[in-house]
Structure 1
Amino acid sequence: MESVATALHRLGELAESRHISRLARSFAAAGHELALVGGPVRDAFLGRPVNDFDFTTSATPDEILAIVAPIADAHWDIGRAFGTIGARFGGDTVEITTYRTDAYDGETRKPVVEFGDSLEGDLVRRDFTVNAMALRLPELVLVDPSGGMDDLLARRLTTPGTPEVSFGDDPLRMMRAARFTSQLGFTVDDGTRAAMTALADRLPIVSVERMSDELSKLLLTDDPVPGLRLLVDTGLAQIVLPELPALRLEVDEHAHHKDVYEHSLTVLTQAIDLEKARPGIESPDLTLRIAALLHDIGKPQTRRIEGGGVVTFHHHDVVGAKLAAKRLKQLRFDKETIAAVAKLIELHLRFFGYSEGVWTDSAVRRYVRDAGDQLERLHILTRADVTTRNVRKADRLSFAYDDLEERIAAIAEAEGIAAVRPDLDGEQIMALLGLKPGPEVGAAYRYLLEVRLDEGPLGPDVAEERLRAWWAARSTGE
């Protein structure tokens, strides 16, 4: 936590270096107030990087445009109906919004946009006190009407007014509290937490897209687990991601299995650690993190207690893949992400057969073929899925996966396994067999692919010989 003087000095330096001082002088010359507001001010005091620049002003949208247009490199008014004008100065993008005092009808999240007449009035309508501080420009005077500085020092999240009113106005703020818990490492105060629990059933008035976006932002933080726990404990996860609290299966003292909920959070944490450490994958990786969190969501539906109190979850990988795809579709995730997450969940158990006996080269090729472009993520998810406290078992699994990766690399170097294709393509198959495009070409292609997976590269001459023999046998019904 920076001192007030240090943070103000840092903000002052940013103002000079980021073209902000010119903007502030232009507003002052036109007789209007301007203040840097919210996240940038908060982050300056926390010693975090300041990248976004949001301003609030006494000027109307038309007046903002008149001031900004002559001095900005570019400007746009897509948010004009809500009082927001965007502009670009050098490499910095800024948003400038007229003071607001929005009113809500209590039935939807859509506010009746009303412009305000004071900075203090604008600040008290914001989500949390730590985001309700502003820096008047060009004077560099801190404005903190709701005690945000005290809450920053206490690393505490609370609302400027009563949380019941704040969350009633915009229920998404409850999910935002979970995100800030992870992003900032803060704790939600008791009253605010109680209001989140009491008002959780208000969340559905928020659009699915906004809930999905907030969930994604939470998962992309350095440590999403505290925020996810808050969503589950307050009942919010039951609305936005019910498969997560469903993992809290009752643990019978006579039925032996891991706590699936805690295991899933641990896998997520371990996947993030591996994601950051391994080359060849961008961090943060939302697809990987969703797959890690949801990889076992098929377990509640497949849970069976066998003889001797042994708990089984047969086919939870397949069931979980379907459940994840359904939920992500409902949350409006894109098709590419949905397909990737489903594939990772469906394949996440495949490796454990390798640890029980050495795979043939054919099995290794099929593992790579089935993973496709998700292979690197599958490596991480599979390693992260080992949460046993038995050091010997954990080491054995780790060494086995090291061996599998080394074999994949060796076969890839020798055979080009990264893109497993038959030795003959569709055009060549049609030419050799005198076929037109259709199902028979697909069948021939799949036959050659199976041969390629079983035996490795054959070369075009041998592949042609095998194809003709297969076609002859197929034609005679042998």
Structure 2
Amino acid sequence: MSHLPDTSALTASLPPVVLEVGELFDAAGHELSLVGGPVRDLFLGRVSGDLDFTTDADPDRIIAVVKRWADAYWEIGRAFGTIGLRRGGYQIEITTYRAEAYDPESRKPSVAFGTDLEEDLLRRDFTINAMALKLPSLELVDLFGGVRDLHARMLRTPGTPSSSFSDDPLRMMRAARFAAQLGMTVAPEVAQAMTEMAGRISIISAERVRDELVKLISGTSPDAGMDLMVATGLADHVLPEVAALRLETDEHHRHKDVYQHSLTVLRQACELETDDQGAVPGPDVVLRLAALLHDIGKPATRRFEPGGAVTFRHHDAVGAKLATKRLRALRFDNDTVKAVARLVELHMRFYGYGEAGWSDSAVRRYVSDAGPLLERLHRLTRSDVTTRNRRKAERLAFAYDDLESRISVLAEQEELASIRPDLDGEQIMALLGVAPGPVVGRAYRFLLEERMEHGPQERADAETSLRSWWSEQPEFEESTR
């Protein structure tokens, strides 16, 4: 990380719209500064498509200055002093200088407009986000040592941490997110305030907590961010099932607790994501959540067997239910909830293959049960191997290689991704001479089982099997009386 670039270097790296809007406000007699993340990112060598500015102009004056320049603008954040707009491919927010604080019992900030840039920067979350670039002069304003802290990768607050987190408790989760995204370490006083004030996260809406969690889990090192949440007690309020894993010991590796195992699985799952052209492009929130939560059923299922063995029977099924409950409480969408829960439910299925091998029927069922989650399940299962025993790790990897190979071979012969019976509903009704109803559903399930067990059949063979099944049904006997 370099020291402050000179003006020419800054100008070269900034999008032209930054300088354009700076000139507009200067001509209108108002102050304007690029602020927050976009300034921080200049020192990280990247430019965001979302640009944040702060100004002494009130919302009415902001609109007056930009309305003819912007491609479009909107006033959704007007109550908070923010006007949003679009220019070219950039999303821009311009906010009046402000200070805000949370009422101790409120989920929403009460806003008071500030009078100068210094006051505005003081109310921001961390020093690395409390830098501003005045426009159009390109003068850097760094009152709280943001450049120093970026260089040290240290997370500090402009004011006292307790004041910052009292203003907006979500900032505590944001600290964990920056640990995951940027490899930041929190200063001791920040960690202490997070620990002492962790309970205040409960006043934040589930939707805001969810969005921050998604950003954390999507970071380059989500295990580091999650570890900080657990260490400070934030996870006790956001993901208590993960925090509870610290008390358990892993079934197969009793020297390693399930919590550390889960962080390792999360890290390894990230490493198995693919690029934009691959089957599971990263960051994949579903895969990462499943990796983090895959063993949360273990605390409830731990049993001590005679001889000192520890078992966690059915922790996969229990974990799937717990994951569903927690993700719904965090207001995740139904598709994400179902996908994560299904992966948690299936994550132990492979071990039967590794121990005894499977018939083609069992392979078909594995593929069918995973459905569109198969590629994620491949990665989750491989990530779940954290043993330090090299021979065991190699044996499991070889077994899964073999399973994937068999899936590929069967996929070439059959449509494994969309296994269906050899007869459809219309053909079933015509053959049996029945109307739509429960009988058709039972017949369909019977043929699906036949398809799983024996693979694809010729239509004549499928019809013979269905007639044989039908002759044993009570409805058939009634129809022949």
Q: Same fold (TM over 0.5)?
A: yes
What is the SS of the residue equivalent to 1:31?
A: coil
- Specify the alignment match of 2:3 in structure 1: 3
The residue identity in structure 2 corresponding to 1:286 is: V
CA offset at residue 106 of structure 1?
Answer: 2.3
Percent identity of equivalent pairs: 62
- Specify the alignment match of 1:374 in structure 2: 373
Structure 1 residues 256 and 13: alpha-carbon distance in aligned structure 2, compared to 1, 3 A threshold: closer
- Specify the alignment match of 1:419 in structure 2: 418
- Specify the alignment match of 1:153 in structure 2: 151
The residue identity in structure 1 corresponding to 2:215 is: K
Is the CA contact 1:172–1:211 (under 8 Å) kept in the aligned structure 2? yes
What is the SS of the residue equivalent to 1:258?
A: coil
- Specify the alignment match of 1:212 in structure 2: 210
The residue identity in structure 1 corresponding to 2:236 is: Q
CA offset at residue 10 of structure 1?
Answer: 4.2
Deviations 1:376-418 (A, max 9, x none): 1000000000011111111111111111111111101101111
What is the SS of the residue equivalent to 1:102?
A: strand
The residue identity in structure 2 corresponding to 1:389 is: R
The reply to whether residue 37 of structure 1 matches residue 35 of structure 2 is: yes
Structure 1 residues 227 and 280: alpha-carbon distance in aligned structure 2, compared to 1, 3 A threshold: same
Is the CA contact 1:178–1:231 (under 8 Å) kept in the aligned structure 2? yes
- 1:28-427 paired onto structure 2 within 5 Å: 28-249=26-247, 256=254, 258-276=256-274, 279-427=278-426
Deviations 1:420-452 (A, max 9, x none): 000111122112212222111100000000000
> Matched residues in 1 for 2:288 and 2:450: separation?
35
Q: Name the TM-score, length of structure 2 as normaliser.
A: 0.95
The residue identity in structure 2 corresponding to 1:216 is: V
> Alpha carbon RMSD of aligned pairs, Å?
1.6
Aligned residues: 473
> Matched residues in 2 for 1:35 and 1:282: separation?
36
Deviations 1:20-47 (A, max 9, x none): 2221111111001111000011111122
What is the SS of the residue equivalent to 1:87?
A: strand
The residue identity in structure 1 corresponding to 2:4 is: V
What is the SS of the residue equivalent to 1:382?
A: helix
- Specify the alignment match of 1:458 in structure 2: 457
Is the CA contact 1:41–1:133 (under 8 Å) kept in the aligned structure 2? yes
Deviations 1:229-266 (A, max 9, x none): 110011110000000110012559xx946310110000
CA offset at residue 9 of structure 1?
Answer: 4.0
Q: Name the stretch that deviates more: 38-47 or 121-130.
A: 38-47
The residue identity in structure 2 corresponding to 1:445 is: Y
Is the CA contact 1:109–1:169 (under 8 Å) kept in the aligned structure 2? no
> Matched residues in 1 for 2:109 and 2:346: separation?
45
Gaps of 5+ in 1: none
Q: Name the TM-score, length of structure 1 as normaliser.
A: 0.96
> Matched residues in 2 for 1:212 and 1:400: separation?
37
Deviations 1:163-215 (A, max 9, x none): 11111111111010111112111111111110111111111111111111111
Is the CA contact 1:257–1:311 (under 8 Å) kept in the aligned structure 2? no
> Matched residues in 2 for 1:287 and 1:351: separation?
19
What is the SS of the residue equivalent to 2:332?
A: coil
> Matched residues in 2 for 1:147 and 1:3: separation?
12
Structure 1 residues 9 and 155: alpha-carbon distance in aligned structure 2, compared to 1, 3 A threshold: farther
Is the CA contact 2:100–2:167 (under 8 Å) kept in the aligned structure 1? no
> Matched residues in 2 for 1:407 and 1:99: separation?
63
Is the CA contact 1:225–1:265 (under 8 Å) kept in the aligned structure 2? yes
CA offset at residue 365 of structure 1?
Answer: 0.3
> Matched residues in 2 for 1:151 and 1:250: separation?
37
Q: Name the stretch that deviates more: 234-243 or 49-58.
A: 49-58
> Matched residues in 2 for 1:279 and 1:234: separation?
36
Gaps of 5+ in 2: none
The residue identity in structure 2 corresponding to 1:54 is: D
The residue identity in structure 2 corresponding to 1:396 is: R
